[in-house]
Amino acid sequence: MKKVAGDTIKQYREKILACYGCPVGCMPWMNVPDGPYSIEGEGWWNNSSNSFCTRVDCSNPEAAIKAHLLTNQLGLDGDNASVVIAWAFEAYEKGLLTTDDTDGLELTWGN
C-alpha cells in the first residue's frame, strides 16, 4: 500500500480547486504527465485508493489515478465501477468469464 499511500499520490496532485466563494478547496487536480497512464483531471479522494487500488489489487498509482479520472470523466461513480471490475476479475478467476468473453483480455487481479 505504500506505493499508493498519501505521499506517493500527492506527487501527482498539481493543485487544489474550490467552488466559487468556498474557502475549503477540497477538489484535487491530478496530473500524470507522461507514459501510458497520462491523464489529468479533477479528483482523488480517500475512497479512490480503496476503489482502484485495494479492491482490484492494483499497486500502480498512475494506473489507479487514470482509472479514477476516467470514471469521473465518463460520468461514472468510481466506487461502483470498481466493484463491477472486481466482480469481473473474480468471475474470470472462477472460470465464469473467459478470454472469449473479454476479447482476449486476461482479467487477473492487479492487471
DSSP 69-101: HHHHHTT--HHHHHHHHHHHHHHHHTTSS-TTT
CATH number at residue 63: 1.10.569.10
**Cβ atoms within 10 Å of 106's Cβ, excluding its own:** 10
Is residue 109 included in any domain, yes or no?
no
Is residue 11 included in any domain, yes or no?
yes
Instruction: State yes or no: pLDDT of 4 exceeds 70.
Output: no
Q: Grid coordinates representing 12?
A: 501527482
Read off the pLDDT of residues 5-62 as tens digits, 9 standing for 90 and up.
Answer: 667 888 899 999 999 999 988 889 999 999 999 999 988 887 887 888 889 998 899 9
Closest CA to 15 of 4, 27, 24: 27
pLDDT in the model for residue 109: 93
**Cβ atoms within 10 Å of 13's Cβ, excluding its own:** 14
Instruction: State yes or no: pLDDT of 71 exceeds 60.
Output: yes
Domain count for the chain, please give it. 1
Is residue 110 included in any domain, yes or no?
no
Is residue 101 included in any domain, yes or no?
no
The contacts of residue 84 (CB under 8 Å, 6+ apart) are: none
Is residue 111 included in any domain, yes or no?
no
User: Global pTM?
Assistant: 0.85
